[in-house]
Amino acid sequence: MAPVGIAPPAHRYLFLDGLRGIAALAIVVRHFSSNSGHREFFSSASVGVDLFFCLSGFVIAHAYQDRLLAGMPLRDYILRRITRLYPMYLVGLLMGGAALCLMKAHGLTNMTWSSIVLAGALNALYLPYLNHYAVQIYAWPIPGAIFPLNNPAWSLFYGMVANFIYAATLRNSRIKPVAWMAVFAVGLPLAAYTFGTTPGWGTDNFIGGLPRVLYAFFAGVFVFQVRDRLTALPRFEWTTTLALVMAMFLVPRFPGYQFYWLACSLLVVPLLVALAARAPVGADSPWRAAFGYSGRLSYPVFCVHYPLLMVFSATLSVDDHYVLVGLAFIVSTVLLADLSSRFIERPLRDLLWPGRVSP
């Protein structure tokens, strides 16, 4: 329950919600195409992780800044975030555990049964499993994933760290989020120099995920805090902003690509979030429902798509039917995310914390 006199904000940044779902779908397409050994689509969609957490920082600050400054206990905030995130995370984890056992039975991983059990126990607690086992996803072995039951969950681990730091330090000064952003802005180039492109997911680049996710998150908080001073920025239509985001995702890999990723993470992603926050969606726009649906499914899609990809890689060949299998994977991901959200996530959230838990 919010502190007395401080209700959750009524205003909704609808296009930002929709953009989260679009970023999640771009990551889905990229994970399938990059591992299939065939043509890669959305080669730079890994920047979608940075966009996803920058958007999350903005949305979290919008939903909770005033309530935290008014005295919302840290315990209540953390419980709300866990209640919001864990049910769908658990769905993905259980799916990933079953998928990993299937892959083990097909000889697609060198993980031992005991290592699978240990990884599951640690990952269930949001903790990484540092290892050097490999999991074969179609054409490529993925070595040392710290969340082998659901590889993308590495970012959720750091996301929880970001949520805790934000809530624990905000009440002392609103400047704190800016200070954290500055600290991690220094760490991000160091991570790119040390680990190359998009670190954080594996044992060998694990520590690089800290500045990556936390910079993106606090950059989103910063954009929210200065949103009323961004009048010098153009107010693009949402279609223009969406086109810029898609163009960022479509850039192919090239020598020195880590510099492109770094520039996007440090500068382009926060700028796009600022532009998206100013992009109007008319009250009578037919896209409002689509953006709302996209936002609601963004997190479920993120949670379920990789375990489903593991199942597909163990059971369906892409050698002769690449496009057909890819389309089946994308459609199945959206349907599974929708069903999981309706019949598992929401009932569990209501059971754990009755009432609306947002965002």
Of the given ranges (135-144, 259-268, 345-354), which has the lowest mean pLDDT? 345-354
Determine the pLDDT at residue 12. Answer: 75
High-pLDDT (> 70) share of the chain, %? 96
Find, among 182, 187, 191, the residue nearest to 218 by Cα.
182
Highest mean pLDDT: which of 120-124, 190-194, 281-285?
120-124
Q: What is the mean pLDDT of residues 164-190?
A: 90
Residue 92 near residue 116 (C-beta atoms within 8 A): no
Domain ranges of the chain: 14-350
Percent of the chain with pLDDT over 90: 81
Q: Which of 216, 231, 230 is nearest to 177 (CA)?
A: 216
Read off the pLDDT band of 173 (50, 70, 90). confident
pLDDT (mean) for 105-133: 97
Task: Indicate the DSSP class of residue 142.
Answer: E
Mean pLDDT of the chain: 92
pLDDT attached to residue 10:
52
Kindly state the tokens that stand for 322: 């690449």
What is the per-residue pLDDT for 310?
Answer: 98
pLDDT at 4: 43
How far is residue 326 from each of residues 57, 108, 187, 209, 316, measured CA to CA in Å? 31, 20, 36, 28, 10
319 confidence band (pLDDT: 50, 70, 90): confident
Residue 210 predicted with pLDDT over 90: yes
Split at pLDDT 50, 70, 90, the class of 230 is confident
The amino acid at 40: E
- Letter string b/e over residues 309-333, b meaning 16 or more CB atoms within 10 A of that residue's CB: bbbbbbeeebeeebeebbeebbebb
Is residue 197 scored above 90 in pLDDT?
Answer: no
- For 2-55, the pLDDT digits (tens) are 444 455 565 678 999 999 999 999 999 999 999 998 888 999 999 999 999 999
- CB 4: neighbour CB atoms within 10 A? 8
Question: What does the pLDDT read at residue 138?
Answer: 94
- In angstroms, the CA 60 to CA 246 distance is 24
pLDDT tens per residue across span 64-92: 999 999 999 999 999 999 999 999 999 99
The C-alpha torsion from 144 through 149 and 155 to 160, rounded to 10°, is -120
Quote the pTM value. 0.93
3-state helix, strand, coil in the chain (%, to 5): 70, 5, 25
What pLDDT score was predicted for residue 1? Answer: 40
pLDDT for the residue 3:
46
Asked if 202 and 145 touch (Cβ cutoff 8 Å), the reply is yes
Res 109: pLDDT: 98
Residue 195 has pLDDT above 80, yes or no: yes
The angle formed by the CA atoms of residues 88, 41 and 212, to the nearest 5 degrees, is 55
